[in-house]
Structure 1
């Protein structure tokens, strides 16, 4: 699996959609600080499921969404997607692509995507598990994480090893199994608690069920009596209603007649009132007409006086306007003279301004010439300065090259001497390791033999323990099954005994008789009779209500039974012997117990025979018409008669069946208790034997652990010696190869040193020549600058003079314009006054004409007013006559209304009596309906009570007294639980269900414990395998990075491999350190890198992102780190965020991250392998010696994204 590309949109500073393609090899990400390089690292962590905003350098998760910049609106969401190519088919089909994405909206909604479909974070984690990818893995190595590996305690370092070992999924499964185990334990405790509570409920419900049966009997009788009382009372009230309705009918006829007479009188009265209203309206209209005429006359007189006053005002205004017109004519002549004077002065100012403009043009021409001469001299001087800087830069480069070559030559010579000394040390160390290896081999053989003997003994004991566990489980299950059967039988027995004691199922009068037992009555007739199953239920069905019959010593005892209907059996002296019927047994042959009672029952039932099948009973009934035949499967046949389904219904419903069921339950209880005792005893023996074997196993396990530890120590010594031997051999070969490289480097550095010295001398000579030319050009530029300043001063003086004359000319023009505007305003006002003077004279004449017309109209209105007043007096006399007629008729109508009110009051009183009677009857019916939640009619039909006339007072009183007595008895019983019988059955079923649940939970707990143990074994094996692999690679990589030294890893002493911490022990060449905390910053970085790269070597990740891990390393250490990193590029893609030029030079491609607009990151790619004449394109090892002069201009421009001049040391 490998990374193909990263797609970002709206994530932090990447506002636009950005695609970063990734290929095999080493890819560099460069750019200035703050341009967004680390946002690429955050994007990879975020898409892989990082949930901590702090780890993403944010305060809240919403901060990863682009917040906007200058000219850019905030993004509505952030999305990151990585495209992986699964070449090996680890997750998808081989060769297919896998797209993993994550999207976050500003509303807080977040979603993960796989192949474009929404999934959960857990799905992404499970999908990439065992691939080396993940938030807590080693996919991203930042500078802080590098240091954290060493700063962490030994237990915290395990996370990297566990991720490499691929045991994360097992630990996740173990955690889930532990949660399920805790849940199962909690569920088991709850089930035990609930089971105890249910058992207590069952005991309480048995008592409540008997109380319910007594309550139901009293309630049924009370319902019947209550309905009879209600029906009697309702019949009495219904008769009263009929009587009141007849009286109401007579009264209604009288009211109707009187109301008709009153309506006729009211019609006549309404007619007279309408005539009166018409006369009144006409009278009021005449009065209003007179008032309007009076108001009109007054208004016209007022208007005429107002018009006269307005005419006087206009004559006064005409005189004032004439005076204003003469004043304006005088002002207009004066202002015209002032305008002519201002125009003459403006002409003189314009001539002076033209002379100043000519002088300004000449000054500007002189200034332009002087400036052109100065610019020419300045350009010459700048050209000479650039040449001088180029020569100085060339000399500096040559001097730097000379210094670097000398340093490389010195370093190469010193390295050769150090390598010679190290080779001699390695030879001595190799001999010492060989001796240690021989001693470790002999120790390993002895430890392996001891371990094999103990393992065989442990296998035998384990087989014995497994056999004993199986026996113990079998005995335990048998005991549990027996206890369950015993509990069921005990519950059944107690229920039957409770029903028997409470006399359940018997009629109330029979229970009452059994409680007081009159003299000569010996209980139920069936009490001394027994019959086997299923004939007990068949006999009960055949007897019907007679199964509740009592037994007396003679017939005369019947007089002692009162208060209900009773069936009574007594000795009959035996009956005729039954007729023999082939293939059938007489019922008497099946009856056991008191022979007198058995004979009495058979005498009542007649000839009854028992057969096995229904078909046989039907056949015999046809052959023997005088007998009844009862079949075992529940059918009764006689002549012309048959009854089927006698066994349909609940078991143990009657006395005979309950007695047989109780005996069966007692027998089952005794059998279950015996089985439980036997199984418990056998389980005790098996448990004791198992305890002894387990004790031996525990003792042997201690010996096994000691032997295994001894063998592991011996194997570790052998592996350590072998690893050290291989490391010494590899280091020797590496030193030989490095010695050859250092010799070649020293020779090349000497040649480069000579060439750089010659280049430096030539550059110095060119610099001196450029200095002389520059001094001459500076003197000439100084002279021309003085001439330019003089021309500029003259030009400034001319400009000031021109501006002064221009300002005066503008002032004169403004004054002239203002004078003309004033003359025009006065002329316009004069013309307006002339127009207004003429219109005022016309308006005065019109107003005086209107006043004369108003006075004439007033005289006409005063003449018409006298006629209207005569008409008003006549209308008043007619209105008075109409009012008298209305008053007389209204008095007659009021007398008839009083008589009608009296009749209506009587009718209302009668209606109230009828309503009270109906309400009383409805209240009785509603009371019964509300009490029994059923209509009275339905209750009467259900109880077989027929509706009748009202009963006499004595019968009604007896029924009411009985109802009151029954109500008191019901109240005396107190509250009852009507659902007690059904709840008892439900609780018993629930108890059985809870017992099954308890057994299931115990089995599930055992399975979970076994699963956790299996997962621990797998995790332990894979962790140890990975730890050994990392330990081997760690020492080799450490030696390569440090040019020697020692490094090893170890587990915390005495701890289990699942919990042991990781200890790191290193010794750089020439140092003796007791703690890794004493390492320098660069040494700590190299040590951590060695450890992480060893993890990569043990379990490679598809890709890795290194975020400025080379910041603490010098150039020599960076070179060695890059050499080691190059060996990993075959299996892993590396993305390196860096500012180091050596690292940039070794990359095959560069991605420059910059900000052309503030706050918005942009990615520019450069493929160095496609640029000709570069070591990266050639792919050779010379890429590590890349210098700034070896790269073309395009590569240098791409490298400048990091904010440096060149990608090599200057």
Structure 2
């Protein structure tokens, strides 16, 4: 067996189909680095089942697919086919040539084939494992594998020997058996639990089965006794019904005779009633006319009295207010007085102004005299002190004046600049303040709009929420009503079990034709009894009854009577009691039948009243609002489900409520839709108003910030301007003062130089000027006082004239209004006189009409009285006949009721028999009709004893027998299954023991052979060195690991980590070659295993290759020329710039040369 060929399609760098045809012996694959040589090794490992992407030098398995290069696009799949020559039958398959194919797609899907047939990965691995090729791939020694062998754990090294010895398939069998054993143990535990539970249940169930068998026998005796007693009861009820039917026929004939007499009397009464009906409206209209005319006469008389009183009570009244013309004259006099006073005030003002001018002149004269006096005093002093000091003082003062002038100029400029800046700032702040004022003015309508839209939005939301709550409430009400109608309708369904009437269109539930008044539903349902579930077939009663197969129909009441019957029993009813028929509305086609059923039923307020009424008249039955029925010696009470009559009444009420609710729901839906639109619009409007308000508030805030900032700047500038102005003013004052002092010094200097200066100053002129000024100021005070008095008098006079003029205007308007009112009152007086004259004429006409109407009223009332007497006589005759007919009808109806009651009792007994015993009436009467010697008491005693025996048995499980048999069968089945599982478990344990023995034998034999070969191979590679393999746990051959000891020649180290790279490679190769010799494989793949060896060690390794070539095929990836020299075939691998691998092969034998090239 050897590898015959390898075909690659889209695998890594092999883009196109490339086939490598191998030969026995050594096949060397050569080529430059990166050309794709190792991809050949990866392809071999991949096609033989390698599952680790890292072992294939990739990150994920999809990396083996050609990824594209240059202009070649990526491929969608990778495929490798390995063809093996199986001529020697090494593979357990009946083919001389075996092809193994592996295919992978971009989506991760994989396919495996053996000779073109679909296979599983496990199939390929098991096929190759028989040739000592397993998942460890010890026959493929890739790059870095040698170091991995030495650095791996002892247990991992054991796997190489196991794979070569063919142990892996046995280990898989053992693992599979162990997994089955674990699963089998869970099933075994479950079976044990089930069988234990069944054993616990069997004993009590056996006792229940025995009791059920005994109960079945007793129940048969109970049923037989009940059937015999039921047959006796049915026969007795049939006899009672036949007797009641004969009595009813006789009474009905008498009722027909009296009915004819009553109809004649009723016809006569109808004629009189017609005449009375014609006379009554005439009398009533005549009386009404008399009443209306009497009222009209009274109203006319009252109108006449009122009009006369009003005409005589109105008189002309003159105006009593003051004369407006006199008031205007007084106002003119007041105006003239004011003019005079104003002229006097003006004269006083002119005199004051003249005095003020004189005061100013005298003040100037007095000041000049004072200055002159001071100058004379200083001149005398200066002359005494000398001129030199004045000259120095004048020069100093002149310099101070010049400095003061410079300071004033500077401060003036500063003040003007601050004033200009202040004006600009004031203008800017004025503009901003105006903007703020305008924004505040615009804020009010925005606030109003915001409040309005917010209020509208809140109102809309509240209205919307109210509508939603109302709609939800009505939705719930509709759902409840629909559910109630559906439930009540279900209770009204016609029974369909063995009922041929259910499918007939002519039959309808009687409940749909009866409508009890509110509050009477339970009473009507109780009184009708079984008739509540009756059917009405009044359209074609004969055809319906003839077409029914009574054998297939459950017992049912069918109402077939048409027409109406208003007959009532003759009985005196106490206060609060009334005939039940008066509280029922029904269709006319069932009126007669229902009337006969309920003619003797009285509706009473309570049981006490009903019992009293029954004691007085035993013929009657009474019923209360709660549905309690009472009769002579019996009572029926209790609660139950709705009858069809109650259900129909409740359905009708619910449908009415449902219609109203749906109408309200439609109205609310429209209102809700409108409210939603309104709410949405209100929300949008509110949002817009809010946004506008916030934007406006932001603008106001910004403007106010600007205004505040400008105000602060203005305050600062005003402060600076005030300071500059004050400084300027002070500087000017100082400059003026200095200049005055300078002028004064110059004047003093001039005076000091004058020789005419007297020795002492004169004060006469100064005193004269002061005296004149004081006199003039006293005159000024007097003039001011006169001016104030004149102005006050003028102001008082001016106000008085205006007041008189306004009073005159008001009085003139009041006089005009009084004249208009008097004219209107006179007009009303004339109108009232006219009305009084018309009312007198109308009163005379009304009086004549009233007399005529009184006469007609008397005649009409007399005629109506006569006809009423005739009608009363006819009514008495009808009542007498009616009473006679009622008595007969009561008797006949009582007989019919007795007949109906007998019929009902018979039907109830039959229905109860069918429901409780499940035996049709015909079968009962056929099989259980009592004989003449039938003993009822003995049969009842028999039934009682059987029921006693059945009660003594207690509660019985009727299904116990069937359950016991089923449980017993299941227990037997599970017991057998448990035994089978136990046996299978033991068999699996034996299989595992056999597999362990086989593994132990195969591994032990392989270990001994490998242990013997390793020193030989090691000494071949390391002449003079020592090496051996050691078991880590010799006592446990199934779990032991393998340690390697190697000591190259000239070294005493035994630790593998202290060896050089080449020594490590040779040691690993020594172990592999020992395995190859001990358990040869058909082929081996070496990927650059000699890369780290020198020429001497390379020659030694090649010698081992040549030795292995005798029994196995070697595929070697190499760069070493010596290795190429010993190869039988060379495969040249190259890669151009397009990134695609190409292969060229050459057979190295001298007699033949072949070149095969594959491109992609």
TM-score (norm 1): 0.36
Structure number with larger C-alpha Rg: 2
With normalisation by structure 2, the TM-score equals 0.38
